[in-house]
Amino acid sequence: MTAAAPSPSAGTPDNGAPSVAVIGGGQLARMMAQAAVALGVPLRLLAEGPGVSAAQVVADTTVGDYTDLETLRTVAEGCSVVTFDHEHVPTAHLHALSEEGHACRPGPGALVHAQDKAVMRARLTELGVPCPRHAVVHDAEDVARFAESVGGFPVVLKTTRGGYDGKGVWVVGSAAESGDPLAVAAAKGVQILAEEKVDFRRELSALVARSPSGQVAAYPVVESVQQHGICWEVVAPAPDLDPELSVQAQQIAMTVAGELDVTGILAVELFETRDGRVLVNELAMRPHNTGHWSMDGAVTGQFENHLRAVLDLPLGSPQARAPWTVMVNILGGDHGELSRDLYAGYRHVLARDPQLKVHLYGKDVKPGRKVGHVTAYGDDLDEVRERALHAAAWFRGDLGDESE
Amino acid sequence: MTAAAPSPSAGTPDNGAPSVAVIGGGQLARMMAQAAVALGVPLRLLAEGPGVSAAQVVADTTVGDYTDLETLRTVAEGCSVVTFDHEHVPTAHLHALSEEGHACRPGPGALVHAQDKAVMRARLTELGVPCPRHAVVHDAEDVARFAESVGGFPVVLKTTRGGYDGKGVWVVGSAAESGDPLAVAAAKGVQILAEEKVDFRRELSALVARSPSGQVAAYPVVESVQQHGICWEVVAPAPDLDPELSVQAQQIAMTVAGELDVTGILAVELFETRDGRVLVNELAMRPHNTGHWSMDGAVTGQFENHLRAVLDLPLGSPQARAPWTVMVNILGGDHGELSRDLYAGYRHVLARDPQLKVHLYGKDVKPGRKVGHVTAYGDDLDEVRERALHAAAWFRGDLGDESE
């Protein structure tokens, strides 16, 4: 690890491989690093602090602030491509880097649609992509007017920037309840987007990798099960999905990727409505939790395809290797010392299921925090789900001796 | 990278995971590191030099000399387990580390059988494991006497220690030809082992992972095709192998692993004779080239199972995920500049075959050097072989534009 200069252990070998700068040291960067090992592509990491998830496994790590342009420049220098673990790098800095000749992938023109929900809704509507009805609101009267236009309360209010994993999202039952969200937005200097509360059957995710040359690889559409606003379980492919809706979801993802000039992974989170439509909920322009199943369940995992895409290499097959793959997040439990010792969970989990794949992120365990995920695959969905859910529950400490 | 102290980027997270010290910075350590990322197990590497294959991808790397006991102690300190990228750590040092309480896996009592061919042959013979006929020889007369006992020349001479990838092995047609090998051995202070030249149909490899608790996972027996003494192509499972011979090969590997108390991966390289027997050729006590197919072709790759084994965690399923998997090594070509740019090979190789898996080791390309491997899998062996062989040949530069 170094303050600024690249580590002497991470010299580019004499085999032509370019270096990739990754901004952000979370688990997505960690899993990119794993894919980069196989590809023989050197990574340079900008991490938020020493010892964060990806910094543990990337030799060429700089600790610094991604909101500081000079730091970004230093890390980008000498790398062929700059890509991201998260969407929080200031848009202005991305423009500056791009203008100075650094290939940011995705670029700022694309990334703003994953950073600002109002910009995203406006653009998708322009493209004819089906979305929930929406409006930017400035006060309680706007909220009341919007509610009336969509058939009444409840409606959903979201900050246009900065929300994730259920943060910055409110469901309000009256105009009066919009006070808090409006105050939060005002304090943060962002706007509030109002959206109809969609009567959805379930949530889907359509993931594609797209390269600067325009090649696209579309992963099977998956079902994503949320718990308290956090992605919890993903089933690939989405069970009993109408083939037409599946194609439509993939087409939406390809359209969005192409029209917005996304490079790398684009995840389109969708609502499947009870009346048989798909509506875009959110966009993410990076490897996504709903694509983790692909590491063990697809021919080419999303992290490998993200790197291949940002490097403009031909993309790998996104097809599934088994009829069913289920990914379940390991969330930190609230059982004190026992929950913290994830490693101890291996003794039971691995012995019970020799086919299970486990990914731990090297994070300190805190209640509700994503600290890893498990993946099971096979021919029988019920059995595959049971295996993955059991393992994740065990790691969380919900099934251990202390509950007996 | 540090001279002695662990890197600040590689602190053990508060989730109970122990650290593993890996001695040696080649591609085997590199691929162990990749598996360790998923398991959430911190690695500490002792590398031969800055920028070697594994040092590029392990944050907590110490550069030093593995023949220096003090360096080994420093690296082992604070790690739960010490394991190895190669078999060249002096046996005396391993005994010293073990006596000081460091868990060396495999331990020196096992590892000596992979370090010294005379010790290995004596022990396997004692265990009733089928081997080629053999004798330690001291001079040309011994060689002549041995040749007579096995039906005449040619016979094979091997240095008892220090040989690999065809180095330290000679096929001699007369006692007179044994002068060079005997001189080499004398100069190195090692002995010469004479072995009958086995009339073999092909070479097989039986790989097992074994934990200190005694759990064993046996991989399917594979066929290994050598070229100039270097493993070149591996087909999993070995085509048309008599099921009885397959079981026998797996039993030999399990017997050897158990009796020699091997921990981690044991690879038993075997001759399949034309008269339908299997004879042990070599032992390796580490992840092995004949097991690389398992990374993409088995439920649990050999590198993950090696780590699980040395940590005494329950082992993962070694079963194949596809009917056929073929691994072909990428050897450095001799086409000058073109051969050196492995990365340029991606444009063709990945576009031609979106299902191919490529592993590049971050090594400088030199003619004949192992610099990566490719893996293809599928239902049709001929097609799978063609895909893997084509890709490796392309990377080597044998099929590019310059040959037209």
Residues B183 and B211 in one domain: no
**Structural domain includes residue A125:** no
Taking the Cβ of residue A2 and every Cβ of chain B, the question of whether any pair is shorter than 8 Å is answered with no
Establish if A350 belongs to a structural domain.
yes
Regarding whether B180 and B158 lie in a shared domain, the answer is yes
Question: In the predicted model, is pLDDT for residue A4 greater than 50?
Answer: no
Please, which residues 257-286 of chain B have a Cβ atom closer than 8 Å to chain A?
Answer: none
Residue contact B15–A364, C-beta within 8 A: yes
Say which amino acid occupies B44. Answer: R
B217 and B352 fall within a common domain: yes
Cα gap B392→A78, rounded to integer Å: 29
| Domains held by chain B: number | 3
Q: Do B33 and A37 touch (CB under 8 A)?
A: yes
In a domain, A114, yes or no: no
Shortest Cα–Cα distance, A30 to chain B (Å): 8
Q: For residues A88 and A22, what is the distance between their CA atoms, to the nearest angstrom?
A: 13
pLDDT band for B162, please (50, 70, 90 cuts).
Answer: confident
Task: Assess whether A272 and A337 both reside in one domain.
Answer: yes
The pLDDT value recorded for residue A65 is: 98
Looking at the structure, tell me whether residues A177 and A205 fall in a common domain: no
Express as a percent the part of chain B with pLDDT over 90.
86
- pLDDT in the model for residue B19: 97
- Do A329 and A396 belong to one domain? yes
Partners of residue B360 in chain A, C-beta under 8 Å: 15, 17, 38-40
Whether residue A349 has pLDDT greater than 70? yes
Does pLDDT of A97 surpass 70?
Answer: yes
Q: Is B154 helix (H, G, I), strand (E, B) or coil?
A: coil
Mutate to test the interface with B, among A2, A19, A30, A37 (most CBs of B within 10 A): A37
The answer as to whether A123 is a domain residue is no
pLDDT at residue number A14: 61
Between these two residues, A3 and A332, which has the higher pLDDT value? A332
Give the strand pairing for A169-172 and B155-159: unpaired
Co-location of A192 and A212 in the same domain: no
Domain boundary among B167, B196, B225: B196
A214 in contact with B at a CB cutoff of 8 Å? no
Nearest-CA distance B184 → chain A (Å)? 33
> Going by DSSP bridges, is the β-strand pair B20-23/B81-84 parallel, antiparallel, or unpaired?
parallel
Is residue A203 part of an annotated ligand binding site? yes
Higher pLDDT, A305 or A366: A305
Residue B232 resides in a domain: yes
Q: Which helix (H) or strand (E) holds A200?
A: strand A200-210
Does some domain include residue A233? Answer: yes
B365·A321 Cβ contact <8 A: no
List the domain range (segments joined by +) for residue B152.
133-196
Indicate the pLDDT class of residue A228, thresholds 50, 70 and 90: confident
Residue B2 — very low, low, confident or very high, per pLDDT cuts 50/70/90? very low
Strand ranges in A228-382 using DSSP code E only, listed in sequence order: 230-236, 264-273, 278-284, 324-331, 357-360, 370-378
- B84: CATH: 3.40.50.20
> From CA A296, how far away is CA A307, in angstroms rounded?
17
Residue B174 has pLDDT above 50, yes or no: yes
> Is A258 found in the same domain as A375?
yes
How far apart are the CA of A131 and the nearest CA of chain B, in angstroms? 33
pLDDT surpassing 70 at residue B288: yes
Identify all chain B residues contacting A11, using CB atoms and an 8 Å cutoff.
50-51, 56
Q: pLDDT, tens digit, for every residue of B29-40?
A: 999 999 999 999
B362 reaches A (C-beta below 8 A): yes
Q: Does A6 touch chain B (CB under 8 A)?
A: no
Give CA–CA dist B184/B277, Å, rounded: 33
How far does B400 lie from chain A, in Å, by closest CA?
Answer: 16
B114 within a domain of the structure (yes/no) = no
Q: What is the pLDDT of residue B341?
A: 84
Q: Are residues A249 and A163 in the same domain?
A: no
> What pLDDT shows up at residue A390?
96
Q: Is there a single domain that holds both residue B177 and residue B30?
A: no
Contact B10 A42 (CB under 8 A): no
Does residue A3 have a pLDDT over 50? no
User: Hey, is the C-beta of B13 within 8 angstroms of any chain A C-beta?
Assistant: yes
pLDDT tier, A121 (very low <50, low <70, confident <90, very high otherwise): very high
CB contacts of B1 in chain A (<8 Å) are 7-9, 59
Q: Which residue of B has its CA nearest to A59?
A: B59
Residue at which a domain ends, from B148, B163, B196: B196
Q: What angle do CA A224, B321, B361 make, to 5 degrees?
A: 90
- Given a cut of 70, whether residue A166 has pLDDT beyond it is no
The residue to which tokens 């890390």 are assigned: A75
* pLDDT at position B404: 37
pLDDT at A220 > cutoff 60:
yes
For residue B312, name the pLDDT band (cuts at 50, 70, 90): very high
pLDDT reported for residue B359: 98
CA-closest candidate to residue A56, choices B51, B76, B30, B37: B37
- Give the distance from residue A281's alpha carbon to the nearest chain B alpha carbon, in angstroms: 30
Which chain B residue has its CA at the smallest distance from A317's CA?
Answer: B354
Same domain? A254 vs A333:
yes
Q: Which residues from B are below 8 Å from A321, CB to CB? A: 321
Angle at alpha carbon of residue B261, lines to B260 and B263, rounded to 5°: 125
Is the CB of A342 inside 8 Å of chain B's CB atoms?
Answer: yes
DSSP character string of B175-232: SGGGHHHHHHHHHHT--EEEEE---EEEEEEEEEEE-TT--EEEPPPEEEEEETTEEE
For B341-379, write each residue's pLDDT tens digit.
899 999 999 999 999 999 999 999 988 899 999 999 999
Q: What's the whole-number mean pLDDT along residues A242-260?
A: 98
Shared domain for B152 and B239, answered yes or no, is no
CATH number for position B149: 3.30.1490.20
* A17 close to B (CB below 8 A): yes
Q: Above 90 in pLDDT, residue B165?
A: no
Chain A interface disruption, residue of B22, B37, B348, B358, most A CBs within 10 A: B37
- Percentage of residues in chain A having pLDDT higher than 70: 93
Distance (Å, whole) CA B358 – CA A39: 7
* Distance of residue A89 Cα from the nearest chain B Cα, in angstroms: 22
| Residue A362: closest C-alpha in chain B | B40
Which residues of chain A neighbour B31 with C-beta distances below 8 Å?
37
Q: Does B360 touch chain A if contact means CB atoms closer than 8 Å? A: yes
Least CB-CB distance to A59: which of B13, B55, B372?
B55
| Half-sphere exposure for B180 (CA within 13 Å, toward CB) | 9
Condensed to tens digits (0 to 9), the pLDDT of residues B50-74 reads: 999 999 999 999 999 999 999 999 9
Instruction: Indicate the residue among A167, A196, A225 that finishes a domain.
Output: A196
DSSP labels for A245-283? HHHHHHHHHHHHHHHTT--EEEEEEEEEETTS-EEEEEE
φ/ψ of A375, rounded to 5, equals -135, 135
**Residue A110 domain flag:** no
How many angstroms separate the Cα of B271 from the Cα of each of B111, B268, B274, B280? 22, 10, 9, 6
Say what the pLDDT of residue B37 is.
98
Average of pLDDT values for A249-267?
A: 98
E strands, B216-277, where? 216-218, 222-227, 230-236, 264-273
